[in-house]
Amino acid sequence: MSTADTTVPESHSFEADVTKLLHLMVHSVYSDKDVFLRELISNAADACEKLRYEAISNPALLGDDLKARITLLIDAENRRLSVEDNGIGMSRDEMIEALGTIARSGTRAFMERIQEDKGAQLIGQFGVGFYSAFMVADRVDVVSHRAGSEEATLWSSDGKGSYTVTPIATDEAPLRGTRVILHLMEDAASYTERYRLERIVKEQSGHVPVPVFLVEKPGAEPQELADGAALWVKPRSEITPEEYTDFYRSVAGQFDEPALTVHFRAEGRHEYTALAFVPGSTPFDLFDPDRHGRMKLYVKRVFITDEAEILPRYLRFVRGLVDSADLPLNVSREMIQESPLLAAIKKGVTSRVLSELEKLAQNNAEAYIKVWETFGPVLKEGLYEDFERRQTLLGLARFKTTASGGAWRSLKDYIGSLKENQTAIYYVTGTDLARLEASPQLEGFRSRGIEVLLLPDPVDSFWVTAGVDFEGKPFKSVTQGAADLAQIPLIGAKEGSNATVTDSVSSFIQSVKATLGEAVADVRASERLTESAVCLVASETAMDRQLERLLARAGQLTSAAKPVLEINPRHDLVVALANLGEDQQALREDAAHLLLDEARIMDGELPADAKAFSQRLARVMRRCVP
């Protein structure tokens, strides 16, 4: 056994990003410092729950200390506050891993966000947990004794760039568990006042599933502040909105208000209780490719794991827990993923969450739109991944369209506005809403009053290709294949406005095709253009051009398909070019290439050959100068 006077502390440096982050937390970001206590209590509760789980297979870990507890110890004279638990504890290596690294997968994204949102209450949004202690303490000591171990360790840091790890005698540590000692800053001395700690615990941590006690001064008797009753086992009628919010913040590690609370008990063939929350704001790592769901699994109130895939990935923003009465307490984490019971729970909880979202959309459209604006791009992943629930998700989807005036529209709204002879739901994909609205490919649809969905999210290019339909109407890209608009009349069309293409224009289109050769798949007269001279589309059998770009950028496409150049046969420029004499062949050839480059530019691309484009443009402009 090591002793404190014969050991030398090991010094370690935080990662560079962590050092900067701690500085920002203390000096720039947070307006409400009370949240540090909730974070430390949540960590302590997790440690107690992990011990309960490990003790199922190894009861000796509990020893004679069977009841989990969290204790706040006040030492006002020395301006110290300690948060102690009798949970699983940490070994030396676990302390270095857990306390020396922060926000592993998203530190840089976190840094960018908090520098943009200075002054905001961001602590919960980013789950930085333990490190919030440095908002009120100029030094933090963590003493931990892992259950079943003969060693104890002291971790210490001032939060300014490094920390030390020192072996200590076990009699200097808790019998089991962890003690976090905060050496409070002078302006944080009020955190040694009983009434303030009691208020914070009841407001923010009153429903953690572990009792919380307070020792008002060294040697005093512990007094209970929270009884550790699991909120989710109570009937909904006995729980106030404030209690739900408090529990949400505790279990989700967020500091906002939940946008939706889903609490139900399933009975019958399988019995379980679910308490789930849709957050009111976007978690910073929502689009992290390694991010999984944040639903905890309990069995008879014993914490099992937070790694069970209870919800599909497109609902990964939902926070909460499931408590099963049917799973065995000794179930292994590996067996959980293969359990038929868990599959049934996953199906039931997923269906209920989507059902509650449907009810919210019907009963409170304004609140639902806020949820969609926050999580819509993630929910749309389900349109590609979850065939079984695709129609439900399509019903939940909301879109900006060419007819919505900036408002959100449902597909049911869209179907209700179909034009006579319209057989498809039309859409256009891209990366920018303003650019989509200005797409020349939309002109023919607007002139006929046909509504087009504007899809600016990357996932949109994938789900629309998955054979999706809504109420029997397939989805069709306005930038792919023929427009097929001839059967839908123009709005306020005048006689002769849709006249047959003249022979001279048809001849010009054929000459453009001959001039461009292998640069394009085809050149044809356009039904979709009414104002612009040209546009590019994909052929009927080719991949949509936006999807093609996404796959190319991801390195999953070696060569792109050649586009189709569509020419507006009634455009003044096209008619003028078509009427040029045979002696103007050089000009017609330059014009053919410039029309293609114009179409590329309008499609958000660059000319294929910038030098040739510049030379052709100069020749044409020179002809206009006397």
The pairing of strands 425-429 and 302-305 is unpaired
The sheet with strand 294-299 has its strands ordered as: 260-266, 272-278, 319-324, 294-299, 302-305
Query: Tokens 């409400």 map to which residue?
Result: 32
Confirm or deny that 510 is annotated as ligand binding: no
Q: Which helix (H) or strand (E) holds 178?
A: strand 177-184
d(CA 344, CA 309): 12
Does the annotation place 299 within a ligand binding site?
A: no
Is 90 marked as binding a ligand? yes
Name residue 12's beta-bridge partners.
Answer: 163
Is 556 annotated for ligand binding?
Answer: no
Cα three-residue angle 580-583-585, rounded to 5 degrees: 70
d(CA 522, CA 514): 10
The Cα 617–Cα 590 span in angstroms is 8
Query: Would the annotation count 127 as a binding residue?
Result: yes
Quick count: other Cβ atoms within 10 Å of Cβ 139? 17
Would you say 80 is a known binding-site residue?
A: no
> What six digits make up the tokens of 476?
């069709």
Residue with tokens 């798949």: 521
Determine if residue 178 is labeled as part of a ligand binding site. yes
In the numeric block, which tokens belong to residue 433? Answer: 């809403």
The owner of tokens 């789930």 is 276
Beta-carbon neighbour count of residue 338 at 10 Å? 9
Reduced to 3 states, what is the DSSP secondary structure of residue 221? Answer: coil
CB 205 within 8 A of CB 36: no
Query: Residue 125, annotated ligand binder?
Result: yes
Query: Does 305 show up as a binding residue in the annotation?
Result: no
Q: How many whole angstroms separate alpha carbon 450 and alpha carbon 530?
A: 14
Give the strand pairing for 212-215 and 223-226: antiparallel
Give the position of tokens 């650019």. 435
Instruction: Give the number of other Cβ atoms within 10 Å of residue 366's Cβ.
Output: 6
Q: Which helix (H) or strand (E) holds 187?
A: none
364 is in an annotated binding site: no
Give CA 384 to chain center in angstroms.
16
Structure tokens at 524: 């044809």
Residue 85, annotated as binding a ligand: yes
- Name the residue among 408, 156, 108, 45 with its Cα closest to residue 288: 108
- The answer to whether 126 is annotated as binding is yes
DSSP codes joined into one string, 475-501: EEETTBS----TTSPPTTPPTTTTPPP
Amino acid at 324: S
> Binding site: residue ranges?
39, 43, 85, 90, 105-106, 125-130, 178, 333
> Binding site for ATP: residue ranges?
39, 43, 85, 90, 105-106, 125-130, 178, 333
